[in-house]
Structure 1
Amino acid sequence: MAQRPGQGAVGLAWAGLLLACLCWAGNALVARAFHDAIPPFALAFWRWSLALVILLPFVARPLWQHRAELRRAGWRLLLVAALGISTYSVLLYFAARTTVAINLTLLNTCLPLATFIGAGLLLNEWPSRRAWLGMAVAILGLLVLIGQGSLASLASLSFNPGDLLMLLAVLDWALYTLLQRRWSSYFHGIPPLAFLGMLVLVGVPLLLPFYLLEQAGGAHFDPNLSNLAAIGYTGVFASLIAYLLWNQGIAVLGVAKATLTNYLMPVFTALLGYFILGEALQAYHWVGGAMIFAGLLLGTRQRAK
């Protein structure tokens, strides 16, 4: 029987997931702010190329030591890298060209529902009734945020092509998360940093031909300080730090619990907008955020024996 993680490991996993969601909320703001300045394939390619350059000195030796396990993972590793490294980033950055940052994070909250159902079908890990109830409370809080506390605003909500692309990105990420969990026996024994390094090492070459085609079509960007800073943020915080914490959270807590933290991304986006962009926090932000936190606590709290 597998040994259950200790309370310390569980607490660190939750903290890591919250930090990962905060990093990705910032990524949505960056994607929207620079959608005219940096083409989508260019941002995805240079983001992960930077991450690879930082990772390689630390993972080259572990990758060589675990080459037998990596060979055994084979096409599974290729598929997971394509979903999590290449496809998701590109879909997100194309979506950011036609929809606003808050929509990117709001639509990302469809992930728990997708993974709840997928975990049951692919992993036979159906969430408990408490988890479903927590998700329902979090969804109500999300609706308060989306409708800005008004039923009329909620009823008049409209979507655009960027929103559809973001929904595809959410399904892509759900599959990445589920397959990583389903095939965990193939990745067992590979250190988390080395595993991420291998994903990036596979994912960057997959992006290269599309980046070159984008360049050939005349889509270039000016390597000025602000553009390089945007690539730096996405390469370090939204890639290295967030992915490491997310992968660890899945390993410790399981898919269903880990993905519930995605409900906090709109809250983090609103807070970042307040601190960075000076956008006011309204009453509905506090009410919706409190309901999302309550749903998260309800859905993840262990029942006393």
Structure 2
Amino acid sequence: MRSSSRYAYAGLLLAVICWSGNALVARAFAGEIPPFALSFWRWCLALTLLLPFVAGPLWRHRQQLKDAGWRLLVLAGLGIAGYNSLLYSAAQTTAAINITLVNTCLPLMTFIGAGLLLGEWPQRRAWWGMGLAAVGLLVLISQGRWASLTGLAFNQGDLIMLLAVADWALYSLLLRRWAQFLLPIPPLALLGVLMLLGVPLILPFYLYELAQGARFEASVSNLAAIGYTAVFASLVAYLAWNHGVRVVGAAKAALSNYLMPVFTAVLGWLLLGEGLQLFHWLGGGLIFAGLLLGTLRPRSLLNGQR
């Protein structure tokens, strides 16, 4: 595997780890911070931190930004304003296990979208890898008990989460489809302009939320939650994800989404003292095996690329 691919996959893993923490924050603070407030202030803080570093590059690359034009607004609407606002809204009315289950649709949506939009139909190995990883995810969700799956119920929050997954799949695919317009723009500058365009798109929904009386207390814990989502789930994760999609493609990048419940379980063990059970190890092992099957090329194709 080439070094660029290694860095890309490492970045995808880092992004998923950061977003696993984001999922924990969304669940833990669902009753404390309204969804659009969390989304708005998260991106405002991230933009404030990033802007001093990207103001110069944004000006120097203004012609490339102009060439990308309306495509940047679409990406900002999907990746900045849309996905996380939908996820935080879903967390208000659905269980964590349902969010995890709905997230399993992301690789399938991305695989099909990559074929239809990009003409990049994944190879058979990737489909088998996706299937194996999906089995491992179901083991995690069900805790190794089939009755847990048959007893699941779905509600409005699950439908919102399904929209969020479709939103993110389209964002990832368009990053790849519009690469010729985006590659000339440095990663930090691209993230900065997406934030600049995305925050105003969230503002009307946040103002409507305020008008409905939904507010949050500026406590230490609430501010720390916003700080985490701004630095790690926004700056670090988005830079790593965008780079990974550029290098390995949207379909392979989407497979890393299966690792989110694994990392969530590990973070729960480390931070919350939740024990790791046999089904965690079994499900996690199947997911890793599926990812290796779906993303690594046969040894015969790797000669001279180690």
* Both structures adopt the same fold (TM-score exceeding 0.5): yes
**Counterpart position of 2:213:** 218
Identify the match of residue 45 of structure 1 among 40, 45, 48: 40
Q: How do 1:9-158 and structure 2 match up within 5 A?
A: 9-158=4-153
Identify the match of residue 301 of structure 1 among 296, 299, 306: 296
CA deviations on 1:126-179 (whole Å, 9 max, x unpaired) are 000011111111111111112211122222222222122111100000001111
TM-score, normalised to structure 1, is 0.96
Give 1:188 deviation, angstroms. Answer: 2.2
- Counterpart-to-counterpart distance in 1, 2:13 and 2:103: 14
CA deviations on 1:259-280 (whole Å, 9 max, x unpaired) are 1100000111111111111222
TM-score, normalised to structure 2, is 0.95
Structure 1 runs not aligned, ≥5 long: 1-5
Letter in 2 for 1:254: G
Give 1:102 deviation, angstroms. Answer: 4.0
- Counterpart-to-counterpart distance in 2, 1:157 and 1:216: 35
**Counterpart position of 1:204:** 199
**Counterpart position of 2:304:** none
Give 1:65 deviation, angstroms. Answer: 0.8
8 A Cα contact 2:175 2:246, kept in partner: no
Q: How do 1:185-196 and structure 2 match up within 5 A?
A: 185-196=180-191
- Counterpart-to-counterpart distance in 2, 1:65 and 1:49: 23
- Counterpart-to-counterpart distance in 1, 2:219 and 2:126: 46
Structure 2 runs not aligned, ≥5 long: 302-306
Letter in 1 for 2:273: G
Identify the match of residue 237 of structure 1 among 209, 232, 238: 232
Runs in 1 of length 4+ with deviation above 6 angstroms?
A: none
The 1:21/1:234 distance shift into structure 2, 3 A limit, reads: same
**Counterpart position of 1:249:** 244
Query: CA RMSD, aligned part only?
Result: 1.1
Query: How much identity, in percent, do the aligned residues show?
Result: 67
- Counterpart-to-counterpart distance in 2, 1:153 and 1:207: 37
- Counterpart-to-counterpart distance in 2, 1:36 and 1:157: 23
